[in-house]
Amino acid sequence: MSPRPAVVFGGPSPEHDISILTGLQAARVLATSGREVDVIYWTKTGQWFSVDAASEAAHFSQGVPAKAKPLRFEPEPGGGFFNKKKPLDVSVVLNACHGGPGEDGTLQGLFDLAGLRYTGPDSAASALGMDKLAFGGLMVAAGLPSLPRLLVGGPAPDFEGPYIVKPRYGGSSIGISVVEDYDTALALLKTSPHMVKGAVLEPFLSGSQDLNVAVRTYPQVETSAIEAPLRDSDQIYDYAQKYLEGDGGMDAAKRELPANLPEEDATRIRRMAKQIVDLARLRSVARIDFLAHDGVIYVNEVNTIPGSLAGYLWIDPPIGRAQLLGDMLEEVTKLPPTRYTTAGADGTALRSAGSIASKLG
């Protein structure tokens, strides 16, 4: 039996609006392919609402759409989403939340506590993918080519500027700046709302090329066609270019697809992408971003819940969006929900502990 999915999108994140676009696309594809689907909107302030699968993006421009129905989420065994006192009959969640608590492991942990299966990585892998410093360190430890990446606020870099400064926890475009010197990078910690949890710094490579590839992990690990996003200048591939071109969303951004690359470079990118699937414990569909410069291809970062769920990249091999989403749902439906163990917590330490007051002296 096909699982009855819920598509969840939105959330208290700078990428809230883009998540709505991704979630509505996924809901529409599932609904038009004949599936019954619950569509759940997570507001900027953290409330949950059931909305129509036929909703349009403009319906959310002022907040909660008309006729949306409030829901409650209970993160405990037997919990999940409730319409008043009645639970929604949801067997699996397709997570379309970008950035913030929807992608950093927070929401995944709540789903785990409720015993819900969900697409995308588990909570630990989601946290790793969102932490640019930790992910970069993992790539270096694994011997994959990566640019030096330092925590802003620590010792000054031993490489010359200009620099790219990125929020340590965040997406691949929001809040990113190119600066000429380290003092300017330090100042961003105090002025940028996206860097309140820290920032990372790496060299800015003039003339570099962005190269992105999607991976999926079911029914086997596969890589998509490789894209080369087209920048408007020799700066960075920013939010406006990525999401606001044409009629908006990743599908409309300017790109070369497939990228015009030597076969050996394409093979190297695909090989590294498959290594990263194992290293970062990726699941479902993810996008891995690379930088090419002076003959070297560097691992840049991973996007564990990519815009449009990277559906536009699957032209070689050709995989339709209904098939892509269906496989994501089938993969996690076959997995057991997360279970925790209390083995060892048998009360022995409590019985032998004595009084609490004796431990405070």
pLDDT per residue over 255-285, tens digit each? Answer: 899 999 999 999 999 999 999 999 999 999 9
What CATH number is given for 121-147+206-318+330-335 in this structure? 3.30.470.20
296-303 β-sheet, strand order:
255-256, 222-229, 209-216, 285-293, 296-303
Domain ranges of the chain: 5-118, 121-147+206-318+330-335, 159-204
Report d(CA 171, CA 312) in Å as an integer: 19
Write down the pLDDT at residue 243: 53
d(CA 252, CA 36): 28
Closest Cα to residue 239, out of 112, 361, 99, 105? 99
Q: What average pLDDT does range 284-294 have in this prediction?
A: 97
| Stretch 200-224: mean pLDDT | 97
CA distance 156 to 173: 24
Ramachandran area for residue 130 (φ above 0: left; ψ -120 to 50: alpha; else beta): alpha
pLDDT for the residue 1: 44
The domain made up of 5-118 has a fold known as Rossmann fold (3.40.50)
- 248: nearest Cα among 25, 11, 50, 49: 25
Query: Residue 194: pLDDT above 50?
Result: yes
Q: Which residues partner with 226 through β-bridges?
A: 213
pTM: 0.92
In tens, the pLDDT along 144-158 reads: 999 999 999 999 999
- Residue 233's pLDDT band (cuts 50, 70, 90): low
How would residue 253 be classed by pLDDT, with cut points 50, 70 and 90? confident
Matching fold, domains 5-118 and 121-147+206-318+330-335:
no
Element (H, E) at 63: none
Higher pLDDT, 318 or 230: 318
- Is the C-alpha dihedral spanning 236, 239, 243, 246 positive or negative? negative
Which helix H or strand E contains 22, and what residues bound it?
helix 16-32
CA distance 275 to 93: 27
What integer pLDDT is reported at residue 2 of this predicted model?
61
